[in-house]
Amino acid sequence: LVLPPSAGDDLQGSKKGIMEIADMVVVNKADGALLVPARHTRSDYRRAMHLMPARHDGWTPKVELCSSLDPNGGVAKVWESILEFDKTLGPSGQMEKNRQRQRHHWMWSTLSEQLKQYFRDIARVSPEMFDVVKETRLDA
């Protein structure tokens, strides 16, 4: 999850759903006048991430600062954290299991959307299907 420096201001719930699935949070643009707000945002998110349930055995989500303007500004540190994540979860098979779950979910989501589109197309062509759709609309 990549956030701007002032993202801690609206922490309460607006990003809760995405935070629950984040394996790392990166506070971007942590340089110049934005460095202090970025540090505050990092602190806010570190505290918030500790309240989230663990998603993976052996991994605690990290919250890093990053600036592309500063050669020591965190891009390398973010990359190191990504490699550490891969090294931690790769051998256990957790990442592959996660990918399998994602592929399964994506397959069913795609199939569901295609079926919905198929029936929408039929409703446009078939008078009987159009009547069924019309009868079941809430705003009719």
| Token duo for residue 132 | 């069924």
| Residue closest to 4 by CA, chosen among 47, 49, 35 | 35
| Token duo for residue 88 | 């931690």
pTM of structure:
0.68
**pLDDT tens per residue across span 19-38:** 788 899 999 999 999 999 99
Q: Is the pLDDT of residue 131 over 70?
A: yes
| Token duo for residue 113 | 């959307």
